[in-house]
Amino acid sequence: MIPFLRLIRIKNLLAILIAMLGVAYFLHKQNPYEVIDFDAFHYGLLIFSTLIIAAAGHIINDYFDLKADRINKPEALVLTKYLNKRWAILANWILNFLGFFIAVILSWHYHTLLFVFVHLLSINLLWFYSAYWKRKLVLGAAVLAALPGLVLFLSSWFFQVLNERNVPFSPYQESTWSTYLDYRFIYFVAICAFFINLSREIVKDIRDIPGDSIIDAHTIPRKIGSQKATLLALLVLQMPAVFFIILKLISDFSLPSLYTSAVLGLLEFLFLLGLSAYFLAPTLLEKWLRLLPTIALILGLTCLYF
């Protein structure tokens, strides 16, 4: 059981669960006096389908990465050691089919192709990333970094589907009434998550250079070297602060709470500290760089709750 949980990356799935629950909690907390249409059962189905499609993606990624993983992390191998490769393919197809079937039900119920489109897109992105794009320069890292942010967008779109009507408004028909919520902070977190995950993927590819050389994967560290890739990862971590400044200059965007302001300030301090350590204490940075994006993602998700 434990090897299978490692195979589907249970920690990553828990992060997706926390993020999707966080979106629902955040929107209700920020709009206490709004009448928000929300179906907990259907949202639970959306969460479940997203989780099993993500699990299927992790399985197929390990399937195609088997040769490299024998070099990079032989102690963590699950396929061939605990599970036959053919069972991995079968599990991938079953989980994807079940997740897509749930998306069809939700799309049919709410008269929209949104859930079908997003789930089908996710399934194909995960498959092509694992089979082909992971070996392409930049493309593989960018695709994988974008998917966690897509989870936050999908959660927001669920609320839009339920609350924003396309039919002509009538004060006498409740089915035509709309509730327009402010999703900008969620979108901000999603875009920041993209940059943080992109940095995380670059750092991961630095560690995986030996195995990636075996399968001839054209990753960023193999192309520009581990030292320059480390600097690039640290520069990418500065992008959330740049994005926030741009938003403040061109719009009335504001952070929802003092806690969020404190967290983002702390993270930017840590990011700048990491950039300084690159030049002043590279040995110390090597130990902490793996943890920095993970810490940022965890603290970032807590901003949906506090």
Distance CA 268, CA 289 (A): 14
Q: Which of 220, 238, 245, 216 is nearest to 230 (CA)?
A: 220
Strands (E), 68-209: none
Half-sphere CA count of 135, side-chain side, radius 13 A: 15
Q: Which two tokens stand for residue 114?
A: 């949104």
Asked if residue 140 lies in contact with residue 134, where contact means CB atoms within 8 angstroms, the answer is: yes
Question: Between the ranges 95-99, 200-204, 228-232, where is the mean pLDDT highest?
Answer: 95-99
Asked if residue 289 lies in contact with residue 277, where contact means CB atoms within 8 angstroms, the answer is: no
What the chain holds in terms of domains, given with CATH numbers, is 1-170 (1.10.357.140), 183-306 (1.20.120)
Percent of the chain with pLDDT strictly greater than 90: 39
Distance CA 157, CA 113 (A): 12
Confidence at 105, pLDDT banded by 50, 70, 90: very high
**Which residues does residue 83 pair with via DSSP β-bridges, in sequence order?**
79
Distance CA 195, CA 293 (A): 9
**Which residues does residue 79 pair with via DSSP β-bridges, in sequence order?**
83
Got the DSSP string for 153-184? HHHHHHHHHHH---SPP-TT-GGG-------H
Burial (CB count within 10 angstroms: exposed 0-12, middle 13-18, buried 19+), residue 170: exposed
Distance CA 220, CA 141 (A): 9
Amino acid at 69: D
Q: Each residue of 51-91: pLDDT tens digit?
A: 999 998 888 877 776 665 566 565 556 665 666 667 878 88
Q: Each residue of 236-281: pLDDT tens digit?
A: 999 999 999 999 889 888 899 999 999 999 999 988 888 888 888 7
